[in-house]
Structure formats: C-alpha cells, structure tokens
Amino acid sequence: MMGKRKFDDDQITGILKEHQAGVTVADVCHRYGISEPTFYRWQSLQSGNVGLHARRLRALEEENQKLKKLLAESMLSAATLSEMLAKTTKGRH
C-alpha cells in the first residue's frame, strides 16, 4: 500500500520551476526533503505531461473552431428561415 503523497501536483510544479530558475537539484532536494531520483522522476513525468497537455489543447481548439462554424451556419440558417417566414406572412395579410 502506498503512503500519502507529501506534495500535490501544484507544489511539485513549483519545485520544478525553482530548479528551472537556477537553483541546483541538490539544493532543491535538500530544501524539500526529497531524493534526487524523486526529483528526476517528477521532472520526466512533468515533461511527458507537457506534450500530452499540448496535444489535448490543440484538439480542443480544433473542436472549438468546428463548433463555432456549426453555430454560425445554424444561426444563418435560422435567420434566413425567419426572413422567409416574415415575407410569406406579409403577403397573406
């Protein structure tokens, strides 16, 4: 059974950013009481997630563009039908 996690994802991200800002791995590990293998495992997991998040974001942006296009087409169709209905009802009165 695994123990309780000492750090949540946001804290891990903050720790990794400290290293990116120029603090040595040894200093970061000492400050937070983690081992260097743990630090490097977090780093590899984080870098793997960056690619995953980028692909997911790109897919969501593409889906959003498709939905916007469908909405615009639907609104145009509804406006055209309303206009035609208005012309038709004017001719009957």
Report d(CA 35, CA 38) in Å as an integer: 5
| Tens digit of each residue's pLDDT (9 = 90 or more) over 7-25 | 888 899 899 999 999 999 9
Nearest residue to 36 (alpha-carbon basis) of 48, 24, 47: 24
58 is written with which tokens? 């790109």
| Tens digit of each residue's pLDDT (9 = 90 or more) over 40-91 | 999 988 877 766 677 788 899 999 999 999 999 999 999 999 999 998 888 6
What is the predicted pLDDT for the residue at 51? 64
What is the predicted pLDDT for the residue at 56? 83
